[in-house]
A = this chain, B = another copy of it.
């Protein structure tokens, strides 16, 4: 039988596994800090962000810049300024999927109606504005180290792999953990097109295993967390397991290379999604504090 968190935090809950974040998990996270080092886990963002070819291209438009002054924009004092507007698919670059992002039938996580996701209001339920800041223990599950090399395209990361990675790190899974899985896919330096093809990633068994261990969030250094293509007859089963049945937000497009170089398996993990009203994801810049 598959693990599910529907109803676990009441019928109105829209935060899912982020409910596993408690005072105790915050403190456990904070306890990991020994060196005072901060490491960004974010890929490049904005016009240079990796984006699936089926999505719009991110863009930045300068609304005022230095050139304007050079050709005569009037100033009333010595102050000058520049500003800009960005256009971006919320699923471009490093981002956290909101629970409204994937579902089956006509129900989102926790039986919320998918029908409340429409053009005008966006995701009125389980949108990015319903996510919460994450401050917890992060665990690096370094499958690259385990395997001796970056995973090949379409390689599944199984529950056994995760167990071994925990062991290798000398860490026990704990409720409320941020589980970060390194496949090495991002580090290959692929073109956008190749990157968005048959990525290595979690199998459904691995996802179930993580859900059963009550992780708060799962992040991977690939574009969709899960191995692609999906098993014949299924599509994004890991999304359905984690996002939909267990309310675990998915953190995609991580850069775990620098973190991996430190050799640390445990650390303080922090991520504060933009409360983008009605969006199905938020671009984020997660960090590890060692």
- Footprint of B on A, CB under 8 Å? 21-27, 30, 33, 35-38, 40, 42, 44-48, 55-57, 59-73, 75-91, 100-106, 114-120, 122-123, 128-129, 132-133, 135, 230, 233-237, 239-240, 268, 270-281, 283-287, 289
Contact = CB atoms under 8 A, between A and B. Distances in A.
A285 B272 contact: yes
Given A67-B66, A118-B71, A40 B236 contact: no
Given A61-B63, A73-B120, A280 B90 contact: no
A251 to B, nearest CB: 13
Contacts of A25: 36
Contact of A117 (B65, B101, B114, B271): B65
B60 A277 contact: yes
A45 B101 contact: no
A47 B121 CA distance: 10
B83 A90 contact: yes
Given A104-B79, A115-B71, A63 B272 contact: no
A25 B38 CA distance: 11
**Secondary structure class of chain A's binding surface, majority of residues:** mixed
Given A78-B104, A80-B104, A133-B285, A271 B272 contact: yes
A230 B79 CA distance: 11
A64 B33 CA distance: 41
19 contacts: A23-B36, A26-B33, A30-B33, A30-B268, A55-B63, A60-B277, A62-B119, A62-B122, A67-B115, A78-B240, A79-B104, A80-B103, A80-B104, A81-B280, A82-B101, A84-B89, A84-B281, A133-B285, A274-B283
Nearest to A25: B36
Given A33-B26, A270-B135, A275-B44, A85 B61 contact: yes
